Amino acid sequence: NAGVTQTPKFRILKIGQSMTLQCTQDMNHNYMYWYRQDPGMGLKLIYYSVGAGITDKGEVPNGYNVSRSTTEDFPLRLELAAPSQTSVYFCASILQGANSPLHFGNGTRLTVT
Amino acid sequence: ILNVEQSPQSLHVQEGDSTNFTCSFPSSNFYALHWYRWETAKSPEALFVMTLNGDEKKKGRISATLNTKEGYSYLYIKGSQPEDSATYLCAPPTSGTYKYIFGTGTRLKVLA
């Protein structure tokens, strides 16, 4: 099993450009999450999904969009990149049930200049 | 938005010292509490998932306790080693949701 796979690993964007961060998991987990790492602030939840076709906002959703057309994939879309979106983005998934931990991908480092 | 507080924000200890830090959360609607270890330039790794009041978990030199009635969890590290240097995060989802909101973490530096 590959677990949670994120692509790309690194990306540099110009202000106003758009891109999609890819996340896929092969563990048949229902729930998936996108977080961003803010310096000194830990992890902030952007969006999450409890199943195909169902998504909901987290703490910092502005400037992002998500979709969940399959159980495996949960892409994160940035439409108009801004310098404030420079961050490391982590995708995570979890098997339904309180005794399960989150499984994280290796992260995507995004720089917007 | 669930208010999760971790203290202290950062901590420097000498190798061999034992240390502990706190995760505080609203006690109402408690569902579970997760602890993660997050090393620089890596992904967070799960340490413990705790669900019951009075729960105690142990993994090597690291242990955790949970008090759901008063809304806190303690993480203990016995005989700290330089490889324990990391940020320790907690996340307590509330009942009826799987919205994992993390605290800001405790950054531990163990000096050799």
Cβ contacts (< 8 Å) between A98 and chain B: which residues? 31-32, 49, 51
pLDDT tens across A21-45, in order?
Answer: 999 999 999 999 999 998 767 899 9
Confidence check: pLDDT of A97 > 90: no
Concatenated DSSP letters of chain A: ---EEEE-SEEEE-TT--EEEEEEESS--SEEEEEEEETTTEEEEEEEEEETTEEEE-S--TTEEE--SSSSB--EEESS--GGG-EEEEEEEE-SSTTPPPEE---EEEEE-
Lowest mean pLDDT among A16-20, A59-63, B63-67, B97-101: B97-101
Across the interface, of A45, A99, A105, the residue whose CB is closest to B43 is A105
Across the interface, of B1, B42, B49, the residue whose CB is closest to A100 is B49
Residue A106 confidence (pLDDT): 96
Task: Report d(CA A108, CA A12) in Å as an integer.
Answer: 11
Residues in chain B predicted with pLDDT less than 50, given as ranges, are none
The shortest C-alpha distance from B104 to chain A (Å) reads 5
Average pLDDT, chain A: 94
